[in-house]
Amino acid sequence: MSKSGVGARAKRKEDERFLYGRGQYIGDLRFPRMREVAFVRSPVAHARLKDVVIPGHLRSSVFTARDIAGVLPLKAVSPLPGFQVSEQPPLVTDKIRQVGELIAMCVADTRAEAEDIAAQISLEYDELPAVVDMLDAQKPGCVLVHDTVKGNVYVNVAFDGDIESVAKTAPVKVTRELRTARQVMSPIECRGFIAQWDSRVNQLILHGATQFPHVVRTGLSLVLQIPEIQIRVISPDVGGGFGYKAILAGEEVCLCWLAMRVDYPVRWLEDRREMLVANANCREHYYNITAYADNSGKILGFDAKAAVDTGAYSAYPFSAAIEASQVSAILPGPYSIPVYRCNTAAVATNKAPQLPYRGVARPGVCYAMELVVDAIAREIGKEPHEVRAVNLVRPEQMPYDNITDKHFDSGDYPQLLRMAVEAIDVNAVRARQQRGEKDGRLIGLGMSIFSEQTGHGTTADGKRRVLYEQAFARLTPDGRLDIRAGIQSIGQGLETTLAQIGSECLGMDIEDIHVKLGDTEISPYSSGAWGSRGMIWAGGATARACQELADRVARIGAALLQTDLKSVVVRDNGVYGPNGNVSLRDIARAYYLAPSELPGDIDPHGLEVTGGFTPTRITGIHTGAAHATIVAVDPETGGVEILDYVVVEDAGTLVNPMIVDGQIFGGTAQGIGSALFEEMAFDKQGQPLASTLADYLLPGCPDVPNIRVFHMQTPSPYTEFGIKGVGEGGAIGPGAAIANAINDALKSLGVEICEIPVTPRRILHALSTQVRRRA
Amino acid sequence: MKPAVFDYVRPATLDEATRLLGEKGVFSKVVAGSQSLGPMLNLRLAQPELLVDITSIPVLTAVSEQRDYVDIGACVSHADVEDGRIPDGSRGLLALVASRIAYRAVRNRGTLGGSLAHADPAADWISVFPLLGADVIVQSRRGTRTVAAENIMVSSFITVLQPDELIRTIRVPKISARARWGFCKFNQKAGEFAHAIGGVLHDPENDRFRAVIGAIETAPIVVADAASLFGGRFGPNLDARLDKRAVLALLDEKNVRDEYNRQLLLVALKRAAKQASES
């Protein structure tokens, strides 16, 4: 291992520009004569749009669906059987399906003036009853969101099992109804795009905050009906993605359409209100679960009916099926469950389309499963971790195919659990609970453990290969390494970690390695940064390109050393042979600038390589983690304080442990948001009830405790270096662990809350309901 | 989220400011720290024609200490109070309250007068100055008038201030060395607007025993004789003596029906009482 290679806690190369405020985001970019766009959005959730009334003097600054008629609607179609297809027009054509839906595009010299124009547009529409609740939406006779989506269900994803037989004999039966709130992803940087037409190269250039520039280009080519080669997508610095920038939506499509017709660049910068009210929705799940167990807590059968509030549209490209299909497929989690039945409906409602947020369905399924495990433990009077222990997949079973055909490549889940139990010190917490608190607060202990299928390369049902990944590496004439990948860094430090992989393969210091990302014009095709796939796939591709480059460098080095290829190694900035060495710089100089020094038969492919990678098995690499927390609950106010938080993570070989810790801290903070704060509520007319961050609460610094992270490293047999994905894990465990801890604290009062976020209001309501029930 | 068009003036004198505010037929708003009005402008919830920025008027940032009171200029910031840059006649209450308003960035710019004039029921000063029995000195071209702090706010975001008036000074009476206070505010997360505020003040030197219940979606409930809430005079274990029925009756009068809010308000007052009687 070189000192800046795989495993080094290298400082992040990109941080210098970020820390000095020199990052370049869409909001920082200026182009000559650039104008700004504001959108007229729907004030209602469900209506027939009859007319958009534009004052005559503004006609040339306002564009509606009629103007952009040549643009095709966005259509995200899942290959899952029974998927009902719907379309999302960039601007409303006839039917409004959510508050905040795009109706008209207004362009002016400044955003304020564009908003002045938008304020003068009036809409005529006939309101329809809004479909707001995902259970009501499925009832017979409910108004339809899309005529083509019968029963308001985009797709049902089901697994069947013989639950009835288990039910007859199982001694323990636990039933719970659980909900997770609708959330709004909240990267610091909202979405934003600048579109312009470059008449010299005859190309549409879109600068945009995106996690997958190549996928955006493919999508734009489809809806704009121009060749991909005529589109260039550049993603500059991205101020947080989390899945919200792994979409293609109406705003950028409209912007591109406009840029192709005018001779100035146009920009749209999403503001926080647009993001909250109209766009970044995620997470809302419903579960009705009955688990059957024996008296040791061993789960004998697991029966679930679930629903995902998928919202008004099937978002491009991941479709309305992604979340529901994950729910059914991964609900069994890290457990060995012999009999399983689950049906999950992806439900259409008049809310913003649900988008895949860090962890996608995993935080929801982890929450549902782990609350049920704790309920089993309470039912049989055992420690929750003991119930987990008897159900976990064991290391000697690896590789293990579970009840839904998920293939666990490696890992030791019982050990993760043991480490978490020890780190949080379960016995000490139980003793403290016995003593009680002077201030009257109640202490609770909660855990969650999960298996995270990371970096999968198939459709959600695991049946079809959907992607590859490539990276490009070039040794420059001055002996430095130029790495280019089509994936984009959204804050997770890929400019450093991909350089560390280059360093590992070529024995170079990362100071001499430059990673360029996020531009379709300079990089090989990439599926992008999502699904905890970056290091597995783009890291793997970078390794393959750099390994091939190392082979070519070795051949030149051997020739210069006048020795046999077999006798040289590439390390420490050079090629080393039995009788001397030659530096990479001298090799590069010889190849590019003094080829006469080389023998005539040198490989003409040169010192640049595009390498590709796919894991040995593409159904996902399973990362495991256990979270454990101690909370104090104030029964008078419903206030919750997190006293301790432990994460034990097995993400295989860590390329940069410091960056991994950062990923876990950030994800856990977001999970704390899910557990305690974040909730986008709607009224009966489908109006979102939060339009600023004063109403939509995110955890702040005082609300996030010191998170103690422990690592196991069980290398995956299917990836380069044994890497597993880790980007999303932090966000998966907290909802379950914290909710379990609060229920543990409230246990003595006979109260259990089965909904997150667990707000003070929910706690006090549950306590007062319990008091009334007892009275 | 950009404001509609408005004119902006930053006068250097109080006379010029009040003259601008007195102009007939112009919808003007006073702006100081802009921590509440700014977002409202951006959300186009407020669309004044003229903004009169009063932050460069020296008298509005002046502070003067007298024998019985401290005069605090309207444009003094929460951070000025938090950091102890003004004389403290409240034995620490003002600094504590200031330190828990929103976030430091807001406290650096947000002003005492602005907070009172904005009259957000969930804000802090609109409850705390009435607890202390402060007066608000209001200026217009027509002259000055003094309004008791508890009479400034009419209801949510509505005050007794006329369109041509601005708050010049907050006159905060000093409390004695034997005075005791308690203040409790609940919010779900640090920096958020309050869900409940309770305050108790006892000063034996002038026989004052006051309480305030705030963040109730209208003007706070100011109890001038808190003995009615605690079944008698100030003393030890005050919190245990809190007459819940008396508090709930006050909340009924103000139409505070939500069970969660009622519970939090009760606990806030109880904890304020505990702090006052234990300090």
B3 and A112: CB-CB below 8 Å? Answer: yes
Strand partners, B53: B31
Of A119, A273, A637, the CB nearest to B264: A637
Q: Which residues of A touch B1 (CB under 8 A)?
A: 115, 271-273
Cβ–Cβ < 8 Å for A659, A12? yes
CA distance A758 to chain B (A): 11
* CB-based contact B192 A765, cutoff 8 Å: no
Tell me how many degrees the CA angle A122-A125-A128 measures, rounded to the nearest 5: 145
Say whether B190 and A700 touch across the interface (CB within 8 A): yes
Q: Do A699 and B189 touch (CB under 8 A)?
A: yes
CATH number of the domain residue B25 falls in: 3.30.43.10
The verdict on B45 and B66 lying in the same domain is no
- Which pLDDT does position A295 carry in this prediction? 97
Find which of A465-474, A612-621, A733-742 is predicted with most confidence, using mean pLDDT: A733-742
pLDDT at A773 over 90: no
Same domain membership, residue A760 and residue A685: yes
pLDDT in tens, A541-580: 999 999 999 999 999 999 999 999 999 999 999 999 999 9
CB-CB under 8 Å, B263 with A636: yes
Q: What is the pLDDT of residue B190?
A: 87
My answer on whether A372 and A353 are in the same domain is yes
Instruction: Spell out the long-range contacts of A84-87 with Cβ–Cβ below 8 A and sequence spacing 24 or more.
Output: A84/A146, A84/A148, A84/A149, A84/A150, A84/A153, A84/A154, A84/A155, A85/A148, A85/A314, A86/A146, A86/A148, A86/A149, A86/A154, A86/A313, A86/A314, A86/A320, A86/A348
The span from the CA of B265 to the CA of A514, in Å, is 58
Task: Tell me if B271 is assigned to some domain.
Answer: yes
For residues A651 and A673, membership in a common domain is answered with: yes
Mean pLDDT of A89-97: 98
Residue in chain B closest to A676 (alpha carbons) equals B188
In a domain, B1, yes or no: no
* A430 and A493 co-located in one domain: no
* Domain-embedded: residue A180: no
My answer on whether B29 and B94 are in the same domain is no
**Rounded to a whole number, what is the distance in Å from the CA of B182 to chain A's nearest CA?**
17
Residues A527 and A623 in one domain: no
In a shared domain, residues B140 and B64: yes
Specify the CATH number for the domain of residue A257.
3.90.1170.50
* Chain B positions in Cβ-Cβ contact with residue A768 (cut-off 8 Å): 259, 263
- How close A760 gets to chain B, by Cα (Å)? 7
- Using a CB-CB cut-off of 8 Å, the residues of chain B touching A110 are 2
B127 with B73, same domain: the answer is yes
Partners of residue A119 in chain B, C-beta under 8 Å: 4, 44
Q: What is the DSSP letter of A397?
A: G
Asked whether residue B246 is domain-assigned, the answer is yes
Mutate to test the interface with B, among A761, A762, A771 (most CBs of B within 10 A): A761
Q: Is the pLDDT of residue A20 over 60?
A: yes
What span, in angstroms and rounded, lies between the C-alpha atoms of A186 and A666? 12
For residue B166, the Cα-to-chain-centroid distance in whole angstroms is 15
pLDDT band at A459 (very low <50, low <70, confident <90, very high): low
CA A301 to CA A310: how far, in whole Å? 28
d(C-alpha B76, C-alpha A426), whole Å: 51
If asked whether residues A255 and A304 sit together in one domain, one would say: no
Minimal-distance CA residue of chain B relative to A693:
B192
* Domain at B260, CATH number: 3.30.390.50
In a domain, A506, yes or no: yes
Q: Which of A536, A551, A498, A522 is nearest to A613 (CA)?
A: A536
Q: How many domains does chain B have?
A: 3
Helices A734-746 + A362-380 axis angle, to 10: 30
Return d(Cα A261, Cα A347) in angstroms, integer. Answer: 38
Residues B184 and B217 placed together within one structural domain of the fold = yes
Tell whether B137 and B164 lie within a shared domain: yes
The answer to whether B83 and B92 have CB atoms below 8 angstroms apart is no
Q: Is residue A554 part of a domain?
A: yes
Q: For A337-375, how does the pLDDT look when each residue is reduced to its tens digit (9 = 90+)?
A: 999 999 999 999 999 999 999 999 999 999 999 999 999
C-alpha distance from B246 to closest chain A C-alpha (Å): 19
CB B72 within 8 Å of CB B104: no
Give the CATH number of the domain where residue B114 resides. Answer: 3.30.465.10
Final residue belonging to a domain, choices B121, B139, B173: B173
DSSP readout, A309-324?
EEESS--BTTTTTHHH
**Residue that is last in its domain, among A279, A304, A336:** A279
Whole-Å CA distances, A209 to A36, A220, A488:
16, 15, 10
Q: What pLDDT score was predicted for residue A602?
A: 81
Q: Give the CATH number of the domain where residue A573 resides.
A: 3.30.365.10
Asked whether residue A128 carries a pLDDT value surpassing 70, the answer given is yes
Contact B54, B60 (CB under 8 A): yes
Distant-in-sequence, close-in-space partners of A388: CB < 8 Å, separation ≥ 6: A335, A373, A417, A447, A449
Q: For chain A, what percent of residues have pLDDT higher than 90?
A: 95
The predicted pLDDT at position A1 comes to 43
In sequence order, what are the beta bridge partners of A649?
A625, A711
* A530, A623: one domain: no
According to DSSP, the β-strands at A172-180 and A755-756 are parallel
Is position A207 within any domain? Answer: yes
In this structure, the answer to whether residues B110 and B207 fall within a common structural domain is no
**Residues B191, B122 share a domain:** no
Contact status, residue A179 vs residue A381, Cβ threshold 8 Å: no
What is residue A329's three-state secondary structure?
Answer: helix
Q: Which residues pair with A184 in a beta bridge?
A: A281
B264 vs A677: CB contact, 8 Å cut-off? no
> Can you give the pLDDT at residue A460?
59
The token duo for A301 is: 């059968």
CA distance B105 to chain A (A): 14
Taking an 8 Å cut-off on Cβ atoms, the answer to whether B193 and A761 are in contact is no
Tell me whether residue B2 is in a domain.
no
Mean pLDDT of A716-728: 96
User: Which H or E run includes A127?
Assistant: strand A122-127
Specify the pLDDT at position A732.
98
Contacts of residue A694 in chain B, CB cutoff 8 Å? 192-193
Phi-psi region of A184 (alpha: psi -120 to 50; beta: other; left: phi over 0): beta
- For chain A positions 65-124, those within 8 Å of chain B (CB to CB) are 110-112, 115-116, 119
**Whether the Cβ atoms of residue A485 and residue A471 lie closer than 8 Å to each other:** yes
Residue A155 counted as domain residue? no
- Chain B residues with beta carbon closer than 8 angstroms to that of A272: 1
Residues A342 and A360 in one domain: yes
- Rounded-to-integer distance, Cα A112 and Cα A120, Å: 13
Looking at the structure, tell me whether residues B62 and B159 fall in a common domain: yes
Q: How far is B260 from chain A (nearest CA, A)?
A: 6
Total domains in the fold of chain A: 3
B133: containing domain: 58-173
CA separation for the pair A528, A537 (Å, rounded): 10
Q: Minimal CA–CA distance to A592: which of A472, A513, A479?
A: A479
A770 bridge partner residues: none
Examine the fold and report which residue of A231, A256, A279 is the final residue of a domain before the chain moves on: A279
The full 3-state SS of chain B, as one line of letters, equals: CCCCCCEEECCCCHHHHHHHHCCCCCCEEEECCCCCHHHHHHCCCCCCCEEEECCCCHHHHCEEECCCEEEEECCCEHHHHHCCCCCCCCCCHHHHHHHCCCCHHHHHHCEHHHHHHHCCCCCCHHHHHHHHCCEEEEEECCEEEEEEHHHCEEECCEECCCCCCEEEEEEEECCCCCCEEEEEEECCCCCCCCCEEEEEEEECCCCEEEEEEECCCCCCEEECECHHHHCCCCCCCHHHHCCHHHHHHHHHHCCCCCHHHHHHHHHHHHHHHHHHHHC
Q: Does A697 touch chain B (CB under 8 A)?
A: yes
- Are the Cβ atoms of A760 and B44 closer than 8 angstroms? no
| pLDDT tens figures, A677-687 | 999 999 999 99
Q: Is residue B93 part of a domain?
A: yes
Query: Do B48 and B63 sit in the same domain of this protein?
Result: no
Chain B residues in contact with A115 by the CB 8 A cut-off are 1-2, 4, 44
Q: What is the DSSP letter of A675?
A: I
User: Do the domain assignments include residue B151?
Assistant: yes
Do B193 and A760 count as a contact with CB atoms less than 8 A apart? no
Max Cα-Cα span within chain A: 96
Domain of A603, in residue numbers: 15-22+469-613
pLDDT tops 70 at residue A282:
yes
% residues pLDDT > 70 (chain A): 99
Average pLDDT over residues A107-118: 98
Q: Specify the DSSP element, H or E, that contains A646.
A: strand A640-650
Q: pLDDT tens digits, residue range B256-274? A: 999 999 999 999 999 999 9
Domain C-terminal end among A570, A594, A613: A613
| pLDDT tens-place string over residues B178-233 | 999 999 999 999 889 899 999 999 999 989 999 999 999 999 999 999 999 999 99
Comparing CA positions, the residue from B112, B119, B100, B95 lying closest to residue B33 is B112
User: Are B128 and B196 within one domain?
Assistant: no
A4 in any annotated domain: no
Reported as a pLDDT band with limits 50, 70 and 90, residue A462 is low
Q: Tell me: do A274 and A287 sit in the same domain.
A: no
Question: What pLDDT was estimated at residue A588?
Answer: 96
Q: Which residue out of B8, B45, B188, B274 would a mutagenesis test of the A interface target, given it has the greatest number of A Cβ atoms within 10 Å?
A: B188
**Two structure tokens written together for A346:** 């992806």
Under DSSP, is residue A124 helix (H, G, I), strand (E, B) or coil?
strand
Of A182, A393, A177, A134, the residue nearest A304 (C-alpha): A177
Say if A461 is an interface residue toward chain B (CB within 8 Å).
no
Mean pLDDT of all residues belonging to chain A: 96
Determine whether the interchain pair A115/B2 forms a contact, defined as Cβ–Cβ distance below 8 Å. Answer: yes
For A399-438, what is each residue's pLDDT tens digit? Answer: 999 999 999 999 999 999 999 999 999 999 999 999 999 9
**B200 and B168 inside one domain:** no
| Claim to verify: residue A269 and residue A316 sit in the same structural domain | no
- One domain for residues A292 and A435: yes
Residue B27 belongs to some domain of the structure? yes
Query: In terms of domains, do A624 and A747 share one?
Result: yes
